[in-house]
Each structure stands twice: as structure tokens, then as C-alpha cells.
Amino acid sequence: MSLKTERRGIHVDQSELLCKKGCGYYGNPAWQGFCSKCWREEYQKARQKQIQDDWELAERLQREEEEAYASSQGAQAGPQSLTFSKFEEKKSNEKTRKVTTVKKFFTASTKSLPKKDIKEAKSPSPSLSRQYSLETDRVSKDFIEFLKTYQKAGHDVYKMSKIFLEAMYHKRESNIDEQSEFTQDFYQNTAEKLQMYWKVSPDKVEKVTDQIERFIMTRLYKHVFCPETTDDEKKDLTVQKRIRALHWVTPQMLCVPVNEDIAEVSDMVVKAITDIIEMDSKRIPRDKLACITRCSKHIFNAIKITKNEPASADDFLPTLIYIVLKANPPRLQSNIQYITRFCNPSRLMTGEDGYYFTNLCCAVAFIEKLDAQSLNLSEEEFSRYMSGQASPKKQDLENWPADTCPGVKQMHRNLDLLTQLSKRQEHIVNGAKKLEKDLIDWTDDVTKEVKDIVEKYPLNIKTASQALAALESENIEDDKLPPPLQPQVYAG
């Protein structure tokens, strides 16, 4: 099987990682291939069209209802019918009520809440009270200290952030997409105000936006991460089950250029797996992105050590897929959706964070659609591996004749295990010998340093002076001290 054939199923052209609208930023499968900016534009267009269609439908239904109402009133003409003026007044009131109802139904509420609701909103709910942890307090103090360097602009940013958090609390029952859009608008409006009104440089605006994200998302995490109104949890279980079913996939099938027999490479693979799993423990989107970035850098280092040359993008994606399959990260889809919805958009559109995150999304999409052709297997082989009837690692044993003694097969299995244990033992013994040598060298170095110091600064012990020796001796006859006072008796 040629290398070209092996790469055919998992090769992704780097141009496919960019926004399909051609703006030059990184796209995302969660945004249907658009970047966050283009996706919001497309989403707004679709939403406005939906609202317009709903308005037209509501107006048509309203006209039909008014015509039916008018015809029913005309049929009841007579002593019981209303006068013309009263009929017009009632019709006007009815129309006003219906239009108001339709507007409330199709228009997002921007009015302030009743006083009772405002009072309840200002006092934190039990769930919010539980959320106020040491980390939240620490983040708040760091945020305030950071904004002090921006003086009035910092005070304005803090005030806007508090207003945003209160508004998000009122929107806690809204659709998660609306909350995401509201958050992205807040990022954009704050950045524009800092640049246009306060004349803050773009680099500093990026730092401020990162601090704002840390401040607000520490408080909103429990409410917007994997909410019950979405199917994120269902997607998590589906991906987790899918990865578990693909446990048999080998590095050779994915053409992964990593040799785990090299101790340093094996350590890099373990660190990459640890970082991608650790992503779920973070609360802030930027911290989750940092885990993905560290994982990706470990992968590049592992490839570089194995190949003795810098890794390419074609080497990176298959290895990332392999790491995800080995790690099976918890709540993978929820974390991806959380980053997509609430991360600072500029981080996902450009830079190494955006590149690595886009590749992770591609890796997950590949795993979800992985089939026999992707791994250059026949449909029969793929089905047997997926059902557990066969395993690539046991293929050599299965090719033996049917009348082969089971004891011989078991012996070969034991020999393979012993070989693996021997390699691990050799690795441990070499490490122990190296540690022993390091300890001996350290002891010799310390001894040499102490000896050099003693030679450079010798310890001279001086004898006691004659006066001190006389004081401390029991014979004081030769002392030049005055004689002791003698008692005198006076006659009274």
C-alpha cells in the first residue's frame, strides 16, 4: 500500500480550513465553514428573513380573523347589533390588542423588568451564590487591578461588564444562540468603543477583551456550558461512543509519523493526551484553547523527533486524530461548542489558537464520518473490527492454520508480552543507572566545592589571650588586679 494511498482518506487541504466566503480567516464546521464574522452576517440575514416571514404570516392570519369577525358581526345586525361608532371603537381596540400581541411575540424584549423582578435579579440566586468561589473572587480582583491602568476607560469597561452580566442573567431562559450572539456583540461593541472613543491601540484592545472574557465567563460558565436546552450532551455521548468503538485503529492505518517506541516521543504523546483531556476542567474559553494549543505543540515535537525534521500540516492532522482517539476527551462536543459560542472571536479567526482549534474541529468531523475507505480497508474488514469480531493486532495469529495448537498461540502471546515488558524494564533500568550516575556526580561536585572553599578560606583557630587565660584560671596570685575589700568593724 503506497504512502499516497494511505494519505488519501485523511488529507485536508489547508485552504479548506479557511472561511468558505473567502475573507481569509479560519472557518469552523460549527459555523458551516464560515468564520465567526461571516457566520454572524449570514445568521443575521437568515434571522431577519425568518422574522419577516413570520410577520407576513401573522398579518395574514390577523386579516383573516378580522374579516371573520366583521362577517359574524354583520350577520347579527338588528336590535342586538352595536351602533356604528361603538363597532368602530371595539374594532380599533381589538386590532390594537392583536398587533401588540404579535409584536410581543416576534420582537425581542428590551423593556425593563418589573420592580419585583429587578429586585429578585439583583439578589443572586442560590445557583449563582454557589458559583461565587475563590476563583471568581480572584478573577474579579485581577480584573479590577488590570483596569486601573486604563483609568476612565477601565472604569467604563468595568461598568459595561457589570451591565452585561445583569442582562445575561435576565436572558438565562433565552436560546443559547441568542446568548452567544449577545456575548459576541458585547465583545465587538466594547472593542469598537475602546478604539474609537478611548483611542486604545489594537494590541491593548485584544488584552482588554481577553480580560473581559475571563471576568464574565467565570461567572456564566455554569449557565451556558452544555445547557439543557441544547443537544450538546447527546452529541457528547455519541462522539464518546464512536471513539470507544474505534479503539482498534492503529497509527499505521492513519499514517501517523510518530514512533512511540522512542521514550521522548512516548512522553510527548502522553503530554498531548493529558492536555486535551485537561481542556474539560477549564472554565474560560481562552484557557480551553490554551490546552488545545499545548496539545498541538506536543504533537509537532513528537513528529519532529521521530522524523528528525520539522513537521508538516499533512503530518499534524492524522496525528491529532490519533491523539483524540487515544484520549477520548470528556464532553468534547460541549467544549468545542462552548469555545465557538463564547470565545473572543479574534482568537478563533486568526493566529495559532485559531489554526489548532480549526484542525481539532476537522479531526472530530473526520472521526464522526470515518469509514472503511478512510482507512483503506475493505467493508468486510471494517465491519469485523467495529463489531469486535477481529482486531488488527491479532491478525497474525488469525492467519495461522486452524489446526495450530492453542498452546503455541498462547506461547506467542506470552512472548509478545514478555518482549514488551523487557523493553519497559530496560527503559527503567537505564533511567535508574542514569539517576545513580547523576547522584554520584552531584556528590563529587559538592565535595569538590566544599574542599575548594575550605582551601580558599582556611579556618584559623586562635588561642585565648593571657588576660583571658588568667581570668579563667584558678591561680590569680600573679594578677595585677586590686586586692579584695576587707570588712571593717567600727565601735559604736
Q: Which secondary structure element, helix H or strand E, spans residue 216, and what is its range?
A: helix 202-224
Confidence at residue 323, expressed as pLDDT on a 0 to 100 scale: 97
In a domain, 471, yes or no: no
Residue 444 near residue 450, CB atoms below 8 Å: no
Domain around 425: 412-444
The count of domains in the chain is: 4
Are 321 and 374 contained in the same domain?
A: yes
Are 299 and 284 contained in the same domain?
A: yes
Residue with cell 485503529: 249
In a domain, 65, yes or no: no
Last residue of a domain, one of 204, 224, 244: 224
Residue 151 near residue 140, CB atoms below 8 Å: no
In a domain, 217, yes or no: yes
Residue with cell 575550605: 454
Confidence at residue 319, expressed as pLDDT on a 0 to 100 scale: 96
Residues 47-62 have pLDDT tens digits of 667 777 777 777 777 7
CA distance 118 to 167: 11
In a domain, 181, yes or no: yes
Contacts of 105 (CB under 8 A, 6+ apart): 58
Last residue of a domain, one of 224, 242, 268: 224
CATH of residue 193's domain is: 1.10.246.120
Residue 34 near residue 27, CB atoms below 8 Å: yes
Q: Write out the three cell numbers for 211.
A: 480580560
In a domain, 130, yes or no: no
Are 330 and 346 contained in the same domain?
A: yes
Has this prediction a pTM greater than 0.75? no
CATH of residue 369's domain is: 1.20.1050.80
Are 213 and 281 contained in the same domain?
A: no
Residues 450-469 have pLDDT tens digits of 888 888 888 777 665 555 55
Are 354 and 244 contained in the same domain?
A: yes
Residue 319 near residue 270, CB atoms below 8 Å: no
Are 252 and 378 contained in the same domain?
A: yes
Are 419 and 329 contained in the same domain?
A: no
Residue 299 near residue 323, CB atoms below 8 Å: yes
In a domain, 54, yes or no: yes
Q: Write out the three cell numbers for 240.
A: 464518546
Q: Write out the three cell numbers for 319.
A: 496525528
Are 238 and 383 contained in the same domain?
A: yes
Give me the residues of the chain with pLDDT under 50, please. Answer: 1-9, 79-84, 86-87, 98-125, 127-129, 131, 476
Residue with cell 505543540: 297
Last residue of a domain, one of 175, 204, 224: 224
Confidence at residue 124, expressed as pLDDT on a 0 to 100 scale: 47
Sign of CA dihedral 84, 86, 89, 93: negative
Confidence at residue 485, expressed as pLDDT on a 0 to 100 scale: 73
Residue 249 near residue 319, CB atoms below 8 Å: no
Confidence at residue 27, expressed as pLDDT on a 0 to 100 scale: 67
Task: Please give the angle made by the CA atoms of 440, 444 and 446, to the nearest 5 degrees.
Answer: 115
Are 270 and 314 contained in the same domain?
A: yes
Which DSSP state fits 77? -
Contacts of 346 (CB under 8 A, 6+ apart): 206, 209
What are the backbone angles phi and psi of residue 26, rounded to the nearest 5°? -75, 135
In a domain, 352, yes or no: yes
Are 236 and 167 contained in the same domain?
A: no
Phi and psi based region of residue 271 (left: phi greater than 0; alpha: psi -120 to 50; beta: remaining):
alpha
In a domain, 270, yes or no: yes
Confidence at residue 81, expressed as pLDDT on a 0 to 100 scale: 45
CA distance 368 to 246: 10
Are 206 and 246 contained in the same domain?
A: no
Nearest C-alpha neighbor of 324 from the set 372, 275, 290: 275
Are 366 and 424 contained in the same domain?
A: no
Task: Please give the angle made by the CA atoms of 168, 147 and 349, to the nearest 5 degrees.
Answer: 60
